[in-house]
Chain A
Amino acid sequence: MREALREAMQEEMRRDEKVFLLGEEVAEYNGAYKVSQGMLAEFGEKRVIDTPISELGFTAIAVGAAQNGLRPIVEFMTWNFAVLALDQILNTASKMLAMSGGQIGCPIVFRGANGSAGQLGAQHSTAFESYYANIPGLKVISPSNPYDSKGLLKAAIRDNDPVVFMESEVMYGDKGEVPEGEYIIEIGKADIKRPGRDVTIVSFNKMMKVALGAAEELAKEGIEAEVIDLRTIRPLDWFTILESVKKTNRLVIVEEQWPFASVSSEITYRIQKEGFDYLDAPIRRITSADAPMHYAPTLVGAYLPDVPRTVKLVKEVMYMKK
């Protein structure tokens, strides 16, 4: 996965002089998670820039640079730390085009690791998709595999609007097919990762593993789940979800967000409005627990969505007693 992300950045930096990368430990240390390994050597310190631990400051510089014609990629070591820079992302990057009446845009990518990664405690474990997806002016991408990551990151870098790109510490080591040669994946398109007819499961990012794992289990019992990978959170491709629900009449959403005003809340609203007549059961979801994530392994297990609970929930929407 990290190689796919790196290739996307390298290809775009070779293609366009205006693209550059900055963040903590991205250059000499080769990236806290080694995503930018070798990039300093290739592009030099003008275009691969180490910053001090000053999230608000270096994000402001990048946002300013984007408004004045450059195309920065900002790496946050994790999205937990980007909270310090939220003012720049929310109040400057996302709003400048509107405030200037269309004069000044902000072609920038904010990327980094998001969500939990084992026993890291409460401050290092938040999944932020729903926060940023709430913000008009931003696009939010949260891919689940190397192929999608590369194609979507390239699209994000070429996009003329500010894009938030959510990765995962626990997926950087994931392996997957990435073809030779260039390809771009359009932002805003969900992908059916497993076709099925009985129930629709929607997920994204590392929770796709739970969704696909559950589908695998369900198949053993003759239940064919259709698994949709959102890939982009904002704009939300609800058409793909609706088309699936028209066929399956049942929807379960699996995500790592907290439950209140989450991505699943928004999907649920949209599908009940657009697809009310197609639903044979209430839309259900599994989110993280309504609490900060605790350190103890027993509590990590209880906090996150998992395969057994997803399987159980699918059976509930199918009115199968178990």
Chain B
Amino acid sequence: MATKFTKETYLYWYELMLLLRRFEEKTGQLYGMQKIRGFCHLYIGQEAIAAGCMTATKPEDKMITAYRDHGLAIAKGVSAKACMAEMFGKATGCSKGKGGSMHFFGADVGFFGGHGIVGAQIGTGAGIAFADKYNGNDNVTLTFFGDGAARQGMLHETFNLAMLWKLPVIFICENNNYAMGTSVTRTSNVVDIYKLADAYEMPADSIDGMDPEAVHEAVARAVKRGRAGEGPTLLEIKTYRYKGHSMSDPQKYRSKEEVEEYKQRDPIETSKQKLLEVFGVSEAEIEAINERVRVEVEECVKFAEESPWPSEDELLKDVYIDQNYPFIVD
């Protein structure tokens, strides 16, 4: 169980992953109570990816992902309160109540959003990286997408351009083995998604996504390449979603045993063990973290509940920057 990572790193990982987990467990409950509506996709099970990515990057780096965006948004620094308020559809939400669960944004912390059209953000992410390269800074963009999204044509065109122009982008395929009800093996002859990079001679790797250390190390290598102007990397991170695709998924396509198998390797549990056994953190300290997280999630819900709805005049706001745009209002 030896590790070259520090106690501080593990404390950070544990608290972050626990916050994401508890936040989303609450989200699930609130969805059941119809406080949260629309499509809602939980990240539960995939938290180690967010954790490892955060410690391997700097705040100026950017992130973009799909609709399964709660975990990455909060990890990147979008306020958890504002995220909860967003799902309630409140004016204080991180997208002013205009986006909902699938469309969290945090421009101030470099979070370029949750996107709803599968695969679209693969290209957008490369464009964000293009701008950083153009501006001559050494930021990189982490561009997340699912195993299902890997089958979109967008991936190939973007890989080609990103290699051609050596863009500082890290393509992260969060392979949770399913696109809704369709397993990876049912979507392609090539089931090792990282091998898709070969066609473009892009460096690529397959990573254990239940282990924040493995994620951190792979992302750190890719970040180094990106900052040095050597171009993109594809990381296929093998992970698992414990919950259904969205809130309305009967999950007939997989077995309970399969889900249990992954839960045995739960990154929150293993991080806790490491803190207790390797770093000699006391049960009381762990308990204090757990309590802090519990309070934070409670505060998120309270904030969301007490926040106002957006007023009707918001309907035509944020459609154009131009304040005098002549909308058709009949």
Contact = CB atoms under 8 A, between A and B. Distances in A.
Interface of A: 24-25, 28-29, 32, 50, 52-57, 80-81, 83-84, 118-124, 259-260, 284-287, 289-292, 294-299, 302-303
Contacts of A84: 117, 152-153
B186 A299 contact: no
A25 B182 contact: yes
Contacts of B314: 294, 296, 299
A279 B57 CA distance: 67
B328 A28 contact: no
B327 A290 contact: yes
A294 B327 contact: no
B303 interface: no
B100 interface: yes
B149 A53 contact: yes
Given A118-B38, A123-B116, A298 B179 contact: no
Contact of B316 (A24, A122, A284, A289): A289
A297 B309 contact: yes
B187 interface: yes
B127 interface: no
Contact of B315 (A32, A123, A124, A303): A303
A55 B314 CA distance: 34
Contacts of B225: none
Given A28-B186, A52-B188, 13 more contacts: A28-B182, A29-B182, A54-B151, A118-B37, A121-B38, A121-B103, A122-B103, A123-B115, A284-B330, A290-B328, A294-B315, A296-B309, A298-B310
A24 B315 contact: no
Contact of B99 (A80, A121, A285): A121
B264 interface: no
Contacts of B115: 123
Given A121-B103, A295-B38, A52 B179 contact: yes
A124 B37 CA distance: 13
A302 B315 contact: yes
**Chain B contact residues, majority secondary structure:** loop
Contacts of B179: 52-53
Contacts of A56: 152-153
B199 to A, nearest CB: 16
B329 A290 contact: yes
Contacts of B102: 121, 123-124
B311 interface: yes
B319 interface: yes
Contact of A295 (B99, B117, B152): B99
B134 interface: no
B274 interface: no
Contacts of A289: 315-316
Contacts of B151: 52-54
B62 interface: no
Contact of B312 (A25, A52, A55, A299): A299
Nearest 10 pairs of A and B residues by beta carbon: A295-B100, A123-B116, A296-B89, A52-B151, A296-B97, A29-B181, A52-B187, A294-B98, A119-B38, A259-B328
Interface string B148-171: 110111000000000000000000
Interface string B171-184: 00000000111100
Contacts of B327: 290-291
B39 interface: yes
B5 interface: no
Contacts of B153: 54, 56-57, 84
A220 to B, nearest CB: 25
**Which one of A28, A122, A292, A298 has the greatest number of beta carbons of chain B within 10 Å?**
A298
Given A24-B182, A29-B181, A291 B117 contact: no
B196 interface: no
Interface in B24-75: 37-39
21 contacts: A24-B182, A25-B182, A29-B181, A50-B186, A52-B186, A53-B148, A53-B151, A80-B116, A118-B37, A120-B38, A120-B100, A122-B98, A289-B315, A291-B319, A295-B38, A295-B97, A296-B91, A296-B98, A297-B37, A299-B310, A299-B312
